[in-house]
Amino acid sequence: MTTSQIDLDIDTLCIDTIRTLSIDAVQKANSGHPGAPMALAPVAYELWQNHLRYDPADPTWPNRDRFVLSNGHASMLLYSVLHLAGVRKVEDDYTLTDEPAVSLHEIERFRQLHSRTPGHPEYRWTSGVETTTGPLGQGIATSVGMALASKWQGERFGRDLFDFDVYALAGDGCLMEGVSHEAASLAGHLKLDNLCWLYDNNHITIDGKTELAYEDDVLTRFEAYGWNVLRVGDANDRDLLARALEKFKDTNDRPTIIVVDSHIGYGSPNKEDTEAAHGEPLGPEEVKLTKEFYGWPEDAQFLVPDGVMEHFAEGVGRRGAELHAEWKQKLEGSSQRDEIAMMQHRELPDGWDAELPSFEADEEKGLATRKASNQVENMIAERVPWMIAGSADLTDSTAVRLSFDGAHNFEPGEFDGRQIHFGIREHAAVTACSGMSLCKLRPLWSTYLTFSDYARPGIRLSAIMELPVIHLFTHDSIGLGEDGPTHQPIEQLASLRAMPHLDVIRPADANEVTEAWRLAMGRTHNPVALVLTRQNVPVFDRSKYASAEGVRRGGYVLADAEGGDPELILIASGSEVQLALGAHEALAAEGVRSRVVSLPCWEAFDREDADYRDEVLPDNGAVRVAIEEGSTLGWERYVGRDGTILGMHTFGQSAPFADVEEEFGFTVENVTALAREALAKGGKVKAGQEEER
């Protein structure tokens, strides 16, 4: 069909192509959300066609503007635009192809197994998707990190190379989620004037009209955050949209939100402005009536009229290609192009780990692993210039302060800073770090382990996207003492370990910390949780015990039996390894052959081949005892059904940490007694307060 057979101007033709592709895909899948793409097609079209600095031929161009679809349920809006704009597919190794990122065939396979058009946009799976979205609010929160990265890269490499803007499209649900407050407040404080949120103000959620639960004055709310607040009274008014977007570009002291009044399911005679247009297909008859309203052939499916893709090519395609070519010329003349290439490919500078500290044995006073971590972190950050450290108002408590020359705070007007103060905003902190990582910075953020719960949705998305974010958690057990059960983590370790694609590393002493950092920095396609102590722990004598290099394999034999195979294997992580060593020494004096296995990272250990794992934990009938000040869930895989696990079965207590640990049985004497009992019985015994459950 030619353009002339549909009596529409080319701009309206493009907009209605976005709408009808979305309608048809949802209808064929019998699943999805047609209403938002129908309403927001003019917004997406105006932004992409006339404003976005984006090269469809290379969607990895580092200085491209970012477009985030925070209301990810409207994914067909994005897939339609990616198809019509001619965005190319990029392989995992960054190789550009001539294949479309989203072909018409893939649109027809919307929400089907292995299609490139999943129900919600997925980073790394579909080229052109800047971040995985779906959990409402997280897209806009991630966009804050992207805007932050643009500011930092502009200061580091020059604004002629990095000055990209970030646009995020959000719905009512995004602004209802608490993370939107955290993220908006942070962005307002930092005066991120390269950030623009477009709020789809359609007054509808799944349950019905938003007035059921939500009557916020959004304009006043964002004025209070220090944002530039604009309003477009009709999503179909492209002229007003254009003026608002230009106003955003002219604003240089604060982020912008454009409140766009829209009609969900626009054009549907019976479902417009109702929840029926939100989360289900329109239905065959309503599809025909809607297409009739658009002036579209009623029976045409997945129709892309002649001239539509060509028009996109003349707009965003030509503009993006020209801007990208100019950028490449500037890059060629930059003395920093090698550093930029290294950063963009998630590589590390030569010698980044050449001077990592080795700690002298100190089994008396010892050193908290958080403090050892700070020394290692500073060594690495000084050699990896794009490493950024932050904290949720616990910079010194979690020991993430950068102290080398030039490591000042990231603040308004000081966008080259390496230290970010996120404030008490854990969810915003983790999502901002994902945004920075998506722009190829190497971020870490920190809080207490128990408060990882506030950030869990963001940690999960970093794992889904396989981003090398470092989540650093301290105060990792009941050993933190007086703050009591509200601050003493119990279930958090097990919860984090249950998450796919997340390496959880809990080092036992300062030298294990060094190796934990080495392991973490080497993980370029998945996040890491570093879990560290508040309290001092011994620095083991490595002339007596095995090298901490075993951390690189996730687990290793730290101390072994003399005079034959072990009859007892003591397994522990973190601060409890010292208890295992103490019991090992006491039992050796009694003639018991025991082995101590330090198991700081289950995920890395499980990736080792079976021969190595069997070497460390042989199936020779030895009795196994695991010790960890947390939930026992998961330890069964290492001790077996007949093994003993000394862990926590209740919440902690408020008292000095030595008293708390004694209360729950985490002493050398108790571990030794448990091991004796397990040996005597040849298997599992009751441990700690397990009997009280």
The pLDDT tens digits for 368-387 are: 999 999 999 999 999 999 99
Is residue 170 helix, strand or coil?
Answer: strand
User: 84 or 687, which is more confident?
Assistant: 84
Q: How far apart are CA 409 and CA 400, in angstroms?
A: 12
Q: How far apart are CA 644 and CA 568, in angstroms?
A: 11
Q: What is the tens place of the pLDDT at every residue in 506-562?
A: 999 999 999 999 999 999 999 999 999 999 999 999 999 999 999 999 999 999 999
- Do 501 and 587 belong to one domain? no
Choosing from 310, 327, 344, the residue where a domain stops is: 327
Per-residue confidence at 690, pLDDT binned at 50, 70, 90?
low
> In this structure, are residues 394 and 424 in contact, taking their beta carbons and an 8 Å threshold?
no
- Do 82 and 213 belong to one domain? yes
In this prediction, residues 429-454 reach a mean pLDDT of 98
Given a cut of 60, whether residue 348 has pLDDT beyond it is yes
- Do 187 and 52 belong to one domain? yes
Q: What is the DSSP string of 524-583?
A: SSS-EEEE--SSEEEE--TTTS--GGGGGGS-EEEE--SSSS-SEEEEE-GGGHHHHHHH
Does 341 map to a domain? no
Q: How far apart are CA 503 and CA 494, in angstroms?
A: 12
Average pLDDT, the chain: 96
Choosing from 510, 538, 566, the residue where a domain stops is: 538
- Do 605 and 477 belong to one domain? no
Does 231 map to a domain? yes
Given a cut of 50, whether residue 162 has pLDDT beyond it is yes
Q: How far apart are CA 598 and CA 582, in angstroms?
A: 13
Task: Identify the burial level of 637 via C-beta atoms within 10 angstroms of its C-beta, where 0-12 means exposed, 13-18 middle and 19 or more buried.
Answer: exposed
In this prediction, residues 204-223 reach a mean pLDDT of 96
Q: How far apart are CA 376 and CA 310, in angstroms?
A: 54
Q: How far apart are CA 103 and CA 304, in angstroms?
A: 12
Per-residue confidence at 693, pLDDT binned at 50, 70, 90?
very low
Crossing angle of helices 10-29 and 35-50, in 10° steps, is 140
Per-residue confidence at 669, pLDDT binned at 50, 70, 90?
very high
> In this structure, are residues 605 and 554 in contact, taking their beta carbons and an 8 Å threshold?
yes
* Strands laid side by side in the 503-505 sheet: 419-421, 387-391, 442-448, 470-474, 528-531, 503-505
Give the helix ranges, DSSP H, for 439-491: 452-464
Does 198 map to a domain? yes
In this prediction, residues 49-59 reach a mean pLDDT of 98
Residue 41, CB-side half-sphere exposure with 13 Å CA sphere? 26
Query: Which pLDDT does position 1 carry in this prediction?
Result: 45
Does 316 map to a domain? yes
Which sign, positive or negative, has the C-alpha torsion 292, 263, 50, 232?
Answer: positive
DSSP state of 409: B
Q: How far apart are CA 621 and CA 446, in angstroms?
A: 41
- Do 313 and 456 belong to one domain? no
Per-residue confidence at 2, pLDDT binned at 50, 70, 90?
very low
Per-residue confidence at 689, pLDDT binned at 50, 70, 90?
low
Query: Which pLDDT does position 572 carry in this prediction?
Result: 98
- Do 133 and 229 belong to one domain? yes
Nearest by Cα to 443 from 501, 528, 337, 345: 528
- Do 378 and 516 belong to one domain? yes
Q: How far apart are CA 422 and CA 445, in angstroms?
A: 9
Q: How far apart are CA 204 and CA 171, in angstroms?
A: 9
- Do 201 and 120 belong to one domain? yes
Does 98 map to a domain? yes
Which sign, positive or negative, has the C-alpha torsion 675, 676, 679, 683?
Answer: negative
- Do 64 and 146 belong to one domain? yes
CATH number at residue 304: 3.40.50.970
In this prediction, residues 76-83 reach a mean pLDDT of 98
Nearest by Cα to 554 from 610, 615, 507: 507
CATH number at residue 627: 3.40.50.920
Active site residues: 426
The identity of residue 385, as a single letter, is P
Does 129 map to a domain? yes
Tell me how many domains the chain contains.
3
* C-alpha of 502 from chain center: 10
> In this structure, are residues 543 and 361 in contact, taking their beta carbons and an 8 Å threshold?
yes
CA torsion 624-630-632-637 (nearest 10°) is -60
- Do 420 and 533 belong to one domain? yes
Is residue 267 helix, strand or coil?
Answer: coil
* C-alpha of 58 from chain center: 24
Question: CA separation (Å) from 373 to 356, 420, 531, 641?
Answer: 11, 18, 10, 35
Choosing from 327, 348, 376, the residue where a domain stops is: 327
**How much of the chain is helix, strand and coil, in % rounded to 5?**
45, 15, 40
Does 343 map to a domain? no
Q: Which backbone phi and psi does 552 adopt, to 5 degrees? A: -60, -20
> In this structure, are residues 170 and 108 in contact, taking their beta carbons and an 8 Å threshold?
no
Nearest by Cα to 287 from 304, 267, 303: 267
Q: How far apart are CA 240 and CA 246, in angstroms?
A: 10
Does 338 map to a domain? no
Is residue 66 helix, strand or coil?
Answer: strand
Nearest by Cα to 535 from 372, 667, 646: 372
Crossing angle of helices 178-190 and 218-225, in 10° steps, is 40
Q: What is the tens place of the pLDDT at every residue in 554-577?
A: 999 999 999 899 999 999 999 999
Q: What is the tens place of the pLDDT at every residue in 296-310?
A: 999 999 999 999 999
> CB within 8 A of 204, min separation 6: which ones?
35, 172, 210, 264, 273, 274, 275, 277, 278
- Do 290 and 378 belong to one domain? no
- Do 218 and 279 belong to one domain? yes
Query: Which pLDDT does position 686 carry in this prediction?
Result: 79
Q: How far apart are CA 671 and CA 572, in angstroms?
A: 11
C-alpha angle with apex 218: 216 to 219, nearest 5 degrees? Answer: 140
Q: How far apart are CA 644 and CA 627, in angstroms?
A: 9
In this prediction, residues 431-450 reach a mean pLDDT of 98
Given a cut of 60, whether residue 112 has pLDDT beyond it is yes
* Domain span at 634: 554-692
Q: Are strands 88-90 and 96-100 parallel, antiparallel or unpaired?
A: antiparallel
In this prediction, residues 196-219 reach a mean pLDDT of 96
